[in-house]
Amino acid sequence: MRTLSFGQSLGRRSCERRSGRTPVSSSTTLTDPCGTPQSVSFTGTASGTSLSGTLTVNGAPEQVTATIGSDGSVSGTQLNPDGSKYGVFWGRPNGARSMQGSFDLNGRVGDWSVPLKLPVPTQL
Task: Of 21-25, 44-48, 117-121, give the lowest mean pLDDT range.
Answer: 117-121
Residue 81: HSE in the Cβ half-sphere, 13 Å Cα cutoff: 3
Task: Using alpha carbons, list the distances in angstroms from residue 50 to 32, 35, 41, 58, 73.
Answer: 28, 33, 19, 25, 11
Please report the pLDDT score of residue 113 as a whole number: 77
pLDDT per position as a tens digit, 85-99? 999 999 998 887 788
Say whether pLDDT at 2 is over 50.
no
> Can you tell me the distance from the alpha carbon of 54 to that of 43, in angstroms, rounded to the nearest whole number?
5
Output DSSP code: residue 70: T
Confidence of residue 123 (pLDDT cuts 50, 70, 90): low
Fill in the DSSP letter of residue 83: S
**pLDDT score of 50 more than 90:** yes
Query: CB atoms < 10 A from the CB of 114, how many?
Result: 22
Q: What is the pLDDT of residues 53-96, one digit of tens each?
A: 998 888 888 899 999 998 889 999 999 888 899 999 999 988 87
If you average pLDDT over every residue of the chain, what do you get?
A: 77
Q: Measured at the alpha carbon of residue 8, what is the angle toward residues 33 and 31, in degrees to the nearest 5?
A: 10
Q: 120: pLDDT confidence band, cut at 50, 70 and 90?
A: low
Burial of 73 (0-12, 13-18, 19+ CB in 10 A): middle
